[in-house]
């Protein structure tokens, strides 16, 4: 019995310690900066910046001040391991009772249930990470569209944009 429990414990710990896939590194595009080339005053620079912000927002439908990463809900993941451990323990107890050893059956069932819970939790986390990565890519594409319009406007007003 102890050998079986040790094996199950190792399997469960291995599932816990497996590194989760991290989010794909997203290339973040920094906000471009406009350098005045026609001796524009600070006041003129602010007016031009705001005018181009307004125009680019209107043309593209993108407001960079309103973009934010999508948050993922982990509430559905909470309790997954506990529920599956309890279910596995109950199933193991029933099987162990039939086989003549309730305690061993419960321990094995709890281990299998915990492992199942960890696997389900990890799959849910990976799916949430993939959704977040996709949302980040889409947000960056919208932001690039806005910055292209803003850059064109600032270029037209006599600025060098980098």
Predicted confidence band at 80 (pLDDT cuts at 50, 70, 90)?
low
pLDDT at 120 over 70: yes
Q: What is the mean pLDDT of residues 82-94?
A: 64
Token readout for 120 is 């389900």
pLDDT at 30 over 90: no
Predicted confidence band at 114 (pLDDT cuts at 50, 70, 90)?
confident
Q: What Cα–Cα distance (Å) separates residue 153 from each residue in 40, 52, 61?
A: 15, 6, 15
pTM equals 0.53
Residue 5: predicted pLDDT: 55
Mean pLDDT (the chain) is 75
């Amino acid at each position: 019995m102890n050998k079986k429990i040790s094996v199950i414990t190792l399997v469960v710990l291995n599932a816990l310690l497996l590194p989760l896939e991290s989010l794909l590194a997203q290339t973040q595009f920094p906000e471009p900066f406009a350098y005045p080339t026609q001796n524009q005053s600070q006041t003129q620079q602010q007016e031009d910046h705001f005018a181009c912000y307004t125009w680019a927002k209107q043309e593209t439908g993108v407001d960079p001040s309103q973009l934010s990463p999508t948050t993922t809900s982990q509430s559905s993941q909470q309790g997954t391991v506990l529920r599956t451990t309890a279910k596995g323990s109950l199933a193991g107890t029933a099987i162990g009772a039939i086989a003549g050893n309730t305690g061993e059956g419960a321990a094995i069932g709890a281990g299998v249930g915990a492992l199942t819970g960890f696997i389900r939790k990890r799959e849910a986390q990976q799916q949430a990470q993939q959704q977040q990565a996709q949302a980040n890519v889409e947000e960056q594409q919208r932001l690039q569209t806005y910055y292209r319009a803003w850059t064109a406007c600032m270029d037209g007003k006599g600025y060098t944009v980098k």
